[in-house]
Amino acid sequence: DYKDLMAGVDELIKRGYIDDRKLGVTGGSGGGVLTDWTVTKTDRFAAAVSQRDISDWSAWWYTADFSQFQPSWFKGAPFEDPGFKERSAITYVEKIKTPMMFILGEADWRTPPSAGGEELFRALKYRKIPTVMVRFPGESHELSRSGQPWHRIERLQHIVGWFDHYLLGMPKPEYEVSPVH
């Protein structure tokens, strides 16, 4: 999927439709997985918002409500198949330079926060890469479609705010990185 995404981005740039200095990437669920993977492969995006993601396939296998379908994706369990580690964005976290926002639902068992955004968030904080995590209490994997109306609005406000800050240079003190003491 990553190669297809980048081919599309390259074509849009070639046609002059977009400014290659102001690119943002976002997605939810499978798109969150792709967002995480993308920022481990390129630093051409000025900002990223990963929603309902999976950054660690092993952690997902042990905690998600959806792992029964894993035999078609992997050759076995995480302790049997090195593909879990090879396909996990967290494995390549040292390559991420892109400022990232993570949007997570605390009651999401499809893509549990502990198998996705929380891991990358902590690793990026440790590495001093600009990052924030927005966790919505009581929200499931359906946050963007059938979550509480005020949470859906707040989610969109955060996405726009993050991109306004990193793509357009708008001041957003709520997203400023404070030093870790």
Catalytically active residues are: 29, 141
**Residue showing tokens 């800050």:** 165
Please name every residue paired with 104 in a beta bridge, in sequence order, or none if there are none.
135
SS3 19: coil
Spatial separation of the C-alpha atoms in residues 56 and 46, rounded to whole Å: 23
DSSP string, 108-175: -SSS-GGGTHHHHHHHHHHHT--EEEEEETT--TTHHHHS-HHHHHHHHHHHHHHHHHHHH----GGG
